[in-house]
Amino acid sequence: MKLITVPLSKEAMHRLDYNESIDGDLLELELSDNQLHILNKVNLFEEINYKLGLNIDDYEDESLHDMNKIKKLNEILTSMINKENEHIINSILELSNAALNKKTGIFFYF
């Protein structure tokens, strides 16, 4: 299961750190194998890793808490949108924007 998660408050972020999240704490997007295939066709995660100094990969957990890096993530996502991946990238952008608005973070559980 590949999951992208955004805590909706600082308290929710703290609970996430201790695996104690409660209903309403998180926005989550579970990526299907097909969605991952579509994103891998444009090397999305490799590009994010390279530009943001991350290691989003199988069996790796990563997170972004720096608001400037989350803004950069939005730029990367926007630059990679095409007809085939538009829906899924827009879904990730929604999560990223929520992290910016709530001033929390975005977590990648791969």
> What does the block give as tokens for 88?
């899924």
Interior angle at CA 5, CA 85 and CA 18, nearest 5: 160
Q: What is the per-residue pLDDT across 15-57, written as a single tens digit (0 to 9) for each?
A: 999 999 999 999 999 999 999 999 999 999 999 999 999 999 9
Q: What is the per-residue pLDDT across 54-108, written as a single tens digit (0 to 9) for each?
A: 999 988 899 999 999 999 999 999 999 999 999 999 999 999 999 999 999 999 9
Chain position carrying tokens 């991952």: 36
